[in-house]
Chain A
Amino acid sequence: MSEHDEVRELLSLAAAGALDSSEEERVTRHIRSCALCSSALDDWRLIAGGLRRLPTPQPSRGMVERARAMAEIRFGEEAERRWNRNVMIFLVAFAWVLTLLSWPLVRLVSDGLQGLLDPRFNQAWIGFAGLTTLGWLGGGVAAVLLSIRQRRERRLA
């Protein structure tokens, strides 16, 4: 491909202001001596100028106001959702701490200080630990199911 053909390929981008400095320099150098490319670049500039001057269609004020009102409501919903999630995380963490603390406490009450230090577990303690674990597992499954349902409802809304 000749220099002329290569530069000709760059003319539309030159009018769009999309060339890098070396390409721009190349085009400028070439059009000084090539009337054909100079004229073609002018044509491209006319099109580019026309595109820049296209009138901007205006959205209706009512529609913009509706968009703003809807976005504000959604913004409030999102903030509430984040608050609810943070409260839930805090409550779950708090409940876990309480549960974990209750295990040695139950052991202390049922077997005394000696029982607390005893590495073996008695049946009452194992039963209590098993029940709380089951309770937590049940709660966890319910939370997951609820969350799936909420997501589905949000998607449908």
Chain B
Amino acid sequence: MGVESEVARLRRGDLDALAELIARYQNRLYRYLLRLVRQPAEAEDLFQQTWLRLAERIRHYDSNRSFEAWLFTLARNLAIDHLRRIRPDSLDEPISGDPQGETAAARLASSAPSVTEGIFEQERSGRLAGALETLPVVYREVLTLRFEEEMKLEEIAQVLGAPLSTVKSRLRRSLDQLRDCLEMRYPGENWQ
């Protein structure tokens, strides 16, 4: 059964549809939140809050929009509010004059051992995930939306509430920075 019909049933008050939507999106939503906040406990808390927010707002959802983009926007807004409360600096985009392009908070985070790095079994994936974690949140999220969630640029623009040109330039900068980070941490490594 499609997402649209599940959403329509939920709007009519069918709680089975809620369970189906949670089952459908649980892994992707949790992964996205974990990429944003990096701490599993915080990601779990935000995961629960996202579904609570959905229960409150589902009647305001415009069915002409992509449900997926709407759901990820809810999650993103909660994560950004959370980060703003606990780590305000982590939301800054890197200053273009900074050769490393890192914020102070991102630098602090990169010096600490990665929390989710240990989750991944494969060493190279772990390294790539580790490098991803050192990026500022605005870059991490655009990378995870594009490559892990496989969203189109238009959908990413909806989630971020940003123009398409901003999404493109942010994606390019995030890839540049990821590559720089990989080369700096693991010189001469083949990433195949």
Residues in chain A within 8 A of chain B (CB atoms): 9, 12-13, 15-16, 18, 43-44, 46-60, 63-64, 66-68, 70-72, 74-75, 78-79, 82
CB nearest to A64 among chain B residues: B26
**Digit string of B104-116 for contact with A (CB within 8 Å is 1, else 0)?**
0000000000001
Task: Report the bound CA distance from A63 to B48 in whole Å.
Answer: 8
Docked pose: A18 CA to B174 CA in angstroms? 13
Determine if A51 and B34 form an interchain contact, defined as CB atoms under 8 angstroms apart: no
Secondary structure type dominating chain B contacts? helix
Task: Please state if B30 and A57 are interface contacts (CB–CB under 8 Å).
Answer: yes
Any A CB within 8 A of the CB of B27: yes
* Contact with B44, one of A59, A78, A79 (Cβ below 8 angstroms): A59
Q: Which of B112-152 contact A (CB under 8 A)?
A: 116, 119-122, 124-125, 128-129, 132, 143, 146-148, 150
- Name the CB-closest residue of A to B120: A55
Given contacts A57-B30, A57-B116, A59-B26, contact A51 B143 (CB under 8 A): yes
| Distance A82 CA – B143 CA, assembled complex (angstroms) | 39
Residues of B within 8 A of A (CB): 13, 15, 18-19, 22, 26-28, 30-31, 34, 40, 43-44, 47-48, 51-52, 54-56, 59, 116, 119-122, 124-125, 128-129, 132, 143, 146-148, 150, 153, 168, 171-172, 175-176, 178-179, 182, 190-192
Most buried by A among B54, B55, B119, B124: B55
Contacts of A55 in B (CB 8 A): 119-122, 125
How many A-B residue pairs lie within 8 Å, measured between CB atoms? 119
Distance, CA A55 to CA B40, complexed state (A)? 15
A74, closest chain B residue (CB): B55
On whether the beta carbons of B148 and A56 are closer than 8 Å, the reply is: yes
Tell me the nearest residue of chain B to A46, going by C-beta.
B191
Asked if residues A71 and B18 are in contact (CB atoms below 8 Å), the reply is: yes
A contact residues around B52 at 8 Å (CB): 70-71, 74
Q: Are B191 and A50 in contact (CB under 8 A)?
A: yes
Instruction: For the complex of A and B, list the 3 residue pairs with the smallest distance between their C-beta atoms, beginning with the closest.
Output: A51-B147, A59-B30, A71-B51
- Which chain A positions have C-beta within 8 A of B125? 50, 53-55
Pick the residue among B27, B119, B175 that contacts A47 (CB under 8 A): B175
What is the CA–CA distance of A50 and B147 in the complex, to the nearest angstrom? 9
Given known contacts A16-B146, A46-B191, A67-B51, A54 and B175 CB-to-CB distance under 8 angstroms? no
Q: Is the CB of B119 within 8 A of A57?
A: yes
State the CA gap A117–B42 with chains docked (Å).
72
B68 to chain A, nearest CB (A): 16
CB atoms of B121 and A72 under 8 A apart: no
For residue A49, which residues in chain B have a CB less than 8 angstroms away from its CB? 192
**Given contacts A51-B132, A55-B122, A71-B18, could you give 14 more A-B pairs where the C-beta distance is less than 8 Å?**
A12-B175, A12-B176, A16-B171, A47-B178, A50-B128, A54-B120, A54-B129, A56-B28, A59-B27, A64-B47, A67-B22, A71-B54, A78-B56, A78-B59
